[in-house]
Amino acid sequence: MGFIMLSHRADLRMRVDGLTLAELFQSAFDGVMHVLKEKKPPQEIAKISKHRIKISSADESALLIDFLNEVLYSAYSRKEIYLSAVFQKLSDTELVAEIFGVPVKDFDEDIKAATYHEVQIKRNESGKLATVLVFDI
Amino acid sequence: MIIKDFKKINDYLWEIPQSFQGGMRVPARVYATEKILLASLDDRSMAQLLNVATLPGIYKYALAMPDIHEGYGFPIGGVAAMDAAEGVISPGGIGYDINCGVRLLRSDLSADVISSRINDLGDRIFAEVPSGTGRSGILKLSDKDLDLILKRGARGITEKGFGGKEDLDFLESCGELPDADPVMVSSRAKTRGQDQLGTMGAGNHFVEVGFVEKIFSKDAAEVFGLFLGQVTVLIHTGSRGLGHQVATDYIRAMMTAMPKYGIQIPDRELACAPFRSEEGQNYFKAMSAAANFAWANRQLIAWEVRKAWKDVLGESGGDLKTVYDVAHNLAKIEKYDDKELLVHRKGATRSFAKGNLEIPPRYRSVGQPVFIPGSMGTASYVLAGADGAMKNTFGTTAHGAGRQMSRTEARKSIEARALKEHMEAEGIRVFAGSLRGVAEEAPAAYKDIDAVADVVAEAGIAEKVARLRPLAAIKG
């Protein structure tokens, strides 16, 4: 698991990491989905939906937040939870991804947004890319 | 940061000088007792307040109310007044839940009259007011109707038959900000809002049936229509997914715009643009539209609560009248020191003193009603705006108890079922979609509401009028 919850007085703070940028983004995606719905619904192949996300941002940190907000918008507006993300293109400023999900009746948590507050993707002492994320809940 | 870094101005006001940290344009001031101030040093709220003090055009001080706690960008309980001509507007200074706020309804009944029906009433309100994270509202708005709500706010929804003038006259800004422009709200935000009107949401949002437990100012209580033992209903929610999306859209847009204006900030979440710029004005119009959506939301919830009230108590229940409705996440243009300022309130409540023409005529002799809800299961306060707020805090006071324990800590340390039983033994029924939410919102997770109310009263930024005690807490 590439994400871990940290303490925050009112909102949600999470540390995510990965050996590559794609792994880091995957960890953040998994972390958000874990918060949205800890117990995943049964995966019925016929009900799996696919959505494409294409975004560009100023740098890799902003790109991560913008990606997570795209995922949140898709989840809440479609009432879906996503099981996986496939990154077709991922640079420091551009991302193309496909996310695969299933419908849900409700969510465990109402994440208002991923914020830019503490995001700063850096390589840590163990050689992994890592950052802290703060979500408004 | 340690307490020695602060200059004590009086027992309820502390200051960090502008010279404390490079980039600060004004000092930072905190309204708190020493005990509250010390507790706030445990998280990042003060560092966030100092960052706010660096924003271009900030006037006089970056302020924090006694319910201050760590947020993102701005601290919760933060106030910043920007020069409207030269300063910036920062969506992070309003937050993602634009016009989250509180409405208070009053009945003609005493608590003892409804004590045997409180379970039925809680059940009925829980059924009538959709709560939690997945439930839609009773209306699925067409594009045209949604634009009407965004433009006209509470008036828009009353025109559809959900309330009337007797409500609108008692809402902050009459529940309708004139600068709202639905065109500035993205189709994504509109999609999220289309089925969410009249819904409470989750987190710390609630509907609470309570009663007037204590009166501090007989005269002001009488003017507000409050009496000892009277049953009241508090509604706390905001602009739902529509507001969240407006904030997300514009924070991103402002990050892109900042280099154009040469703005540098210590935290990206404080992304901003000059208020008079195209980006600043577009956000202000969209924010105003989202605020109108929130007022319409609380108006429709009030209608749903009234329906439940009537279903359970029949004609003998009488009417539930609106006392007032306040926003605590909003930016508004106001005048202080003969200057036009854009006052950002993030988890802070407007507190206009008596005589102000923005206050409904009926309340003008005492000041605007201010509501400071406590945690589920403790008291909430009704206060009146005061002169000290006009002089010292840009017409602002606190908005709630303020968290002292994270949600994770609360879930780990509080057993929700036992808490629910304990509250019920104390005469407070809990109607909640999830036990997890009950633990997160437990009284122990919040600061002492009495201490917060004491600070604002002693500091002269609001006057205590009445204390409400809950009978039934309804939440997502």
Q: Does position B197 have pLDDT exceeding 90, yes or no?
A: yes
Q: What percent of chain B is modeled with pLDDT above 90?
A: 87
Task: Write out pLDDT tens, residues B415-473.
Answer: 888 888 888 888 999 998 877 778 888 888 888 999 999 999 999 999 999 999 999 99
At B60-117, the pLDDT tens digits run: 999 999 999 999 899 999 999 999 999 999 999 999 999 999 999 999 999 999 999 9
CB contact under 8 A, A7 and B247: no
Question: What ipTM does the predicted assembly reach?
Answer: 0.91
Which band of pLDDT confidence, cut at 50, 70 and 90, is reported for residue A1? low
Whole-angstrom Cα distance, residue B199 to residue B187?
Answer: 20
State the DSSP string of B417-435.
HHHHHHHHHTT-EEEES-H
* CB contact at 8 A, B388 and B459: yes
For residue B409, the model assigns a pLDDT of 85
The CA distance from B448 to B444, in Å, is 9
pLDDT in tens, B357-413: 999 999 999 999 999 999 887 899 999 999 999 999 999 999 998 788 888 888 888
- The CA-to-CA distance between both ends of chain A, in Å, stands at 22
Tell me the pLDDT tens digit for each residue of A8-37.
888 899 999 999 999 999 999 999 999 999
B41 to chain A, any CB pair closer than 8 A? The answer is: no
Q: By CA distance, what is B45's nearest residue in A?
A: A9
Summarize pLDDT for B259-313 with one digit per residue, the tens: 999 999 999 999 999 999 999 999 999 999 999 999 999 999 999 999 999 999 9
Degrees to nearest 5, angle at CA B450 with B449 and B452:
65
Report the alpha-carbon distance of residue B373 to residue B460 in Å, rounded: 19
**Does residue B468 sit in helix, strand or coil?**
strand
Report the helix count and the strand count for chain A, using DSSP H and E: 2, 8
Q: Report whether pLDDT(A43) > 80.
A: no
| Cα–Cα distance for residue pair A38/B261, rounded to 1 Å | 43
Q: How confident is the model at residue A77 (pLDDT cuts 50, 70, 90)?
A: very high
* B203 vs A73, A76, A137: nearest CB: A137
Please tell me the total number of residues recorded for chain B in this structure: 476
Q: Are A90 and A106 in contact (CB under 8 A)?
A: no
H-helix or E-strand containing B85? none
User: Which stretches within B205-277 are classed as H helix?
Assistant: 218-224, 240-257
Q: Compute the Cα dihedral for B19, B22, B27, B28 and give only its sign.
A: negative
Amino acid at B279: E
Greatest Cα pair distance, chain B, in angstroms, is 64
Length of chain A: 137
Tell me: pLDDT of A46 over 80.
Answer: no
Set of chain A residues whose Cβ sits within 8 Å of the Cβ of B244: 112-113, 136
Q: How far is B240 from chain A (nearest CA, A)?
A: 8
Cα distance between the two ends of chain B:
37
Q: Residue B158 has what pLDDT? A: 97
Identify whether the C-beta of residue B127 lies closer than 8 Å to the C-beta of residue B256.
no
As a whole number of angstroms, the distance between CA B393 and CA B397 comes to 7
pLDDT recorded at residue A8: 82
> Which is nearest to A11 in space by CA: B71, B434, B475?
B71
* Beta strands at B463-475 and B429-432: parallel, antiparallel or unpaired: parallel
Question: Exposed/middle/buried for B464, CB within 10 Å: 0-12, 13-18, 19+?
Answer: buried
Instruction: State the DSSP string of B50-84.
Output: HHHTTSTTEEEEEEEEEEEEEEESEEEEEEEEEET
Contact B5/B20 with Cβ under 8 angstroms?
yes
Residue B409: list chain A partners with CB under 8 A: 7
Q: Measured between CA atoms, how close is B357 to chain A, in angstroms?
A: 35
Beta-ladder partners of A135: A12, A114
Name the nearest CA neighbour of B248 among A29, A52, A67. A67
Q: Is B293 exposed, middle or buried (0-12, 13-18, 19+ CB in 10 A)?
A: buried
Q: Which residues of B are catalytic?
A: 399
Chain A residues 65-124 with a CB less than 8 Å from chain B: 66, 69, 73, 76-77, 79, 104-110, 112-113, 115-119
Chain B positions in Cβ-Cβ contact with residue A137 (cut-off 8 Å): 203, 407
Q: Is B277 on the interface with A (CB under 8 A)?
A: no
Q: Which of B213, B162, B130, B240 is nearest to B474 (CA)?
A: B130
Q: What is the pLDDT of residues B217-250, one digit of tens each?
A: 999 999 999 999 999 999 999 999 999 999 999 9
- Within 10 Å of residue A122's Cβ, how many Cβ atoms? 9
The arithmetic mean of pLDDT across residues A51-56, rounded, is 97
A7: which chain B residues are within 8 Å (Cβ-Cβ)? 406, 408-409
Which of B404, B413, B397, B417 shows the shortest CA–CA distance to B463? B397
Q: Which residues contact A64 (CB under 8 A, 6 or more apart)?
A: A24, A25, A28, A119, A121, A131, A133
**Which pTM was predicted?**
0.95
Q: Where are the alpha helices (DSSP H) in B199-239?
A: 218-224
- The two most distant CA atoms of chain A are separated, in Å, by 44
- Which of A3, A5, A7, A9 has the most B C-beta neighbours within 10 Å, making it the best mutation to test the interface with B? A9
Cβ atoms of B392 and B61 within 8 Å: the answer is no
Distance CA B26, CA B9 (A): 16
B27 interfacial to chain A (CB closer than 8 Å): no
What is the rounded distance in angstroms from the CA atom of residue A72 to the CA atom of residue B72? 18
Which of B92, B202, B248 is the closest to A110 by Cβ? B202
* B180 interfaces chain A, CB cutoff of 8 Å: no
> Quick check: B77 and B66 in contact, CB under 8 A?
yes
With CB atoms and an 8 Å threshold, state whether B255 touches A5.
Answer: no
Nearest by CB: A7 against B135, B267, B406:
B406
Distance CA A82, CA B390 (A): 49
